[in-house]
Every structure is written in structure tokens, then in C-alpha cells.
Amino acid sequence: MANFVLVAGARLGAWAWDDVVPWLEAAGGHGVYPLTLSGLAERADGAAPVGRQGHVRDVVDFVERAGLRDVVLVGHSYAGVPVGQAAGLLGERLRRVVFVDAGVPVDGEPFVAQWPDGGAGVRASLAENGGWWPCAPAAHFEGHGLSPEQIARIVAGSTPHPGTTLTEPAVLARPLDELPATYVLCELGGDEHELDGPVAELVKGERWRLAKLDTGHWPMFSRPRELADVLLEAAAVSPAGRE
């Protein structure tokens, strides 16, 4: 049996997985652990932005404190960056890492470096908002297969994101191509959601697999059952990437 540790993207917390958790639990025997990162949701206590590598330590410390093994570590969107770094620190505790329409860490580069403008827009926003990335408006979520009610739920639950986690360089303890991994590509949105950059190369490796969902960037809301099925399938794949 697997232990799923679920980490949602920027501005979101453990609550974002509420519709996925029942489907994973219904499969029987698995542990399911949605995780809120420091500075977000119920952990948004108004303190200074999270320090260097803070979100990576959140993940590693949680797994170690809970004594978890056979961990399927899931990172959505931004969370792929700390999750990808944490996966390399878990050693034999890790069964598989799953990137859900996510960024992947590049050693020595921050999350925002992968943006078309190199992160200039995000850095400017952080400077204007005291080091925090403000919440996105409802229009940001349109065109992703979400109902108006789902969009309203995301907007209502979002909290500003600690900016240092977006701009600090990634530190890889283990090359990503050595990790047993699945990348979940959410295809709704056209060409902008095609694989490119480091992910396009990583999925060619024998230890990586590619899964696809016909939905937008927030599948835990738009397609929770289908996403749970993908995660369960990923948990069943051997470390070498074969059944």
C-alpha cells in the first residue's frame, strides 16, 4: 500500500485536495496526507515570507515525522519545484513522485526562471506587495474546465504566496532523471500546455512516465476522480517505470 502526500500549487493549501481524498481512500489501504506548506491557508499567520528552502523542508520533515514509507509524493503546479527537491532527499522512503501539470526544479534556478519573462513580472509583484505574491482574480481560472462554483471556491480559499519560495534557486540532492516519476499533463488549453523544456526530456527516460488528462490546470477541482485514478496507477508502477 502507498502513502500519498499531496501538495497543491501556489496560494493553495491541503483543502485543495478535498475532492480527491475520498477517491484515494476508497481504493482501500492507502494512507492519504494532504499537506499545507508554510505561509499558506491555515498556516498563513502573517509572519515574514518563508525562508530559503522552507517548503522543501516542510515536505521532508512531514514525511520523516510521520514515519512514512512507500511515499507517493504529489506536487501540483508550483509545488512540483519543492516536491521534486524533497523527493531526492527521501531515499528509500520514496515510491514515486508525481508532477501534476507542474514545474520541475532545475538545479541552481528558481521557479520563476522558467517563465517567458524570466520571472520579471512576478518579482515586480512581490516588490509591490511586501514579498508576497497576491491572490489571482477569478478570470485567471477561466478556460480550464472549471465551473463558476469551482472558480469561486478556489478564489475564496486562496491566500497570498510567500515570494522567497518562488525566487530562491533549487538545490537537487539527486538528478531528476534518476527518480521514479510520473508527469501528468493537463491538455485543456491548447499549445501552451504541450511539454517543453526539461520535462520534455525527462519523460523520455526509462524511469519517467507520462499521463494525460483532458482538463485544465486545476484537475483536483475539475476532474478529481480521474486525477485519483492517475495517482493510483502511478503508485502501482515499478521504480524502473514498468508495470
What local confidence, expressed as pLDDT, does residue 242 receive?
A: 43
What residue type is 196 in one-letter code?
D
Given this model, what pLDDT does residue 196 score? 75
Q: Let me know: does 3 contact 73? Beta carbons within 8 Å.
A: no
**Alpha-carbon dihedral of residues 181, 96, 55, 78, nearest 10 degrees?**
40
Rounded-to-10 torsion of CA 59, 225, 198, 165:
-30
User: What global pTM score does this model have?
Assistant: 0.94
Half-sphere exposure of 16 (CA within 13 A, CB side): 33
The set of cell numbers assigned to 225 is 476522480
The tens-digit pLDDT sequence of the chain (243 residues) is 999 999 999 999 999 999 999 999 999 899 999 999 999 999 987 655 577 689 999 999 999 999 999 999 999 999 999 999 999 999 999 999 999 999 999 999 999 998 889 899 999 999 999 999 999 999 999 999 999 999 999 999 999 999 999 999 999 999 999 999 999 999 985 545 568 789 999 999 999 999 999 999 999 999 999 999 999 999 997 555 444
The pLDDT score that the predictor gives to residue 241 is 47
Predicted confidence at residue 35, as pLDDT, reads 98
Exposed / middle / buried, residue 171 (Cβ in 10 Å: 0-12, 13-18, 19+):
middle
Q: What is the pLDDT of residue 190?
A: 52
Average pLDDT of the chain to the nearest whole number: 92
Question: pLDDT value at position 52?
Answer: 67
